[in-house]
Amino acid sequence: LEEAAFQLQQIFRIDISIALNILGIESMRAGHCRVAFTCFKLAADRGYSKAQFNVGLCYEHGRGTEKDLEKAGFYYCQAASSCHPMAQYRYARYLLQHGPGSHWDRHHEAVTLLEQAAMAGITEAQAYLGVFYMRGLQPQEKRGLKYLLLAANSGDAQSRYHVGVCYEQGLGVQQNLAEALRHYRQSAAAGNRQARERLRA
């Protein structure tokens, strides 16, 4: 009986959190940012990862509350620890730009989170990792190209342009100008200015 009561309590807690988060999203769409933030915060403090991510966004962009990057990082961290892929990406960016602790520890944790987010299909994480591996202190070009291709195949025109650069310059792949042109054309068709300039050149 105790177990059943506990299960009911858990279901009720999760359902309330989901409802609060949905109410927060609808309030944000209607332009009621303070109400949205309050709803997100109530659900987040109940441990609901989607709401924790939304609270992080509110703090990062100053929507419905004062802008506070440290608090944004805290809530992104909470959501990331529940394997929320976009929170993993945002928290990784936070760690690389503002995080506490030693540079090496932050760097290592951030790369792990970015890779998890990238494998979960977050295009922004794939693109970030692609450039990160290409331009790092010790470039890992094949690894970088792998992530750039993932992002490009998800529709990211900037990553498609970078793939063209890889083929043009032979970075992580055999140099192939025809393949470079193909990627530049696709990127340019999607509106990328750099790709259009490269095609003209």
The Cα–Cα gap between 177 and 54 comes to 44
pLDDT score, position 14: 63
Burial class (CB in 10 A: 0-12, 13-18, 19+), 131: middle
Locus of tokens 């790369």:
111
Q: Which of 32-36, 105-109, 130-134, 187-191 has the lowest mean pLDDT?
A: 105-109
Ramachandran assignment for 191, one of left (phi > 0), alpha (psi -120 to 50 degrees), beta (any other): left
Contacts of residue 51, Cβ cutoff 8 Å, sequence gap at least 6: 17, 20, 21, 24, 39, 40, 41, 42, 43, 44
Contacts of residue 121, Cβ cutoff 8 Å, sequence gap at least 6: 85, 154
Coil, helix or strand at residue 196? helix
pLDDT score, position 67: 96
Length of the chain: 201
Is the per-residue pLDDT at 162 higher than 70? yes
Locus of tokens 């929507």:
63
Angle value at C-alpha 54, between 155 and 16, nearest 5 degrees = 125
Residues 146-153: contacts with CB within 8 Å, 24+ apart? 147/118, 150/118, 150/123, 150/126, 151/123, 151/124, 151/126, 151/127, 152/183, 152/186
Residue 23 tokens read as 């109410």
Domains of the chain: 1-120 (1.25.40.10), 122-200 (1.25.40.10)
Q: What is the pLDDT of residues 42-64, one digit of tens each?
A: 999 999 999 999 999 999 999 99
CB 27 within 8 A of CB 40: no
**Whole-prediction pTM value?**
0.82
Is the per-residue pLDDT at 34 higher than 80? yes
Q: What is the pLDDT of residues 105-155, one digit of tens each?
A: 788 899 999 999 999 999 999 999 999 998 866 778 999 999 999 999 999
Burial class (CB in 10 A: 0-12, 13-18, 19+), 11: exposed
Q: H or E segment at 182? A: helix 177-189
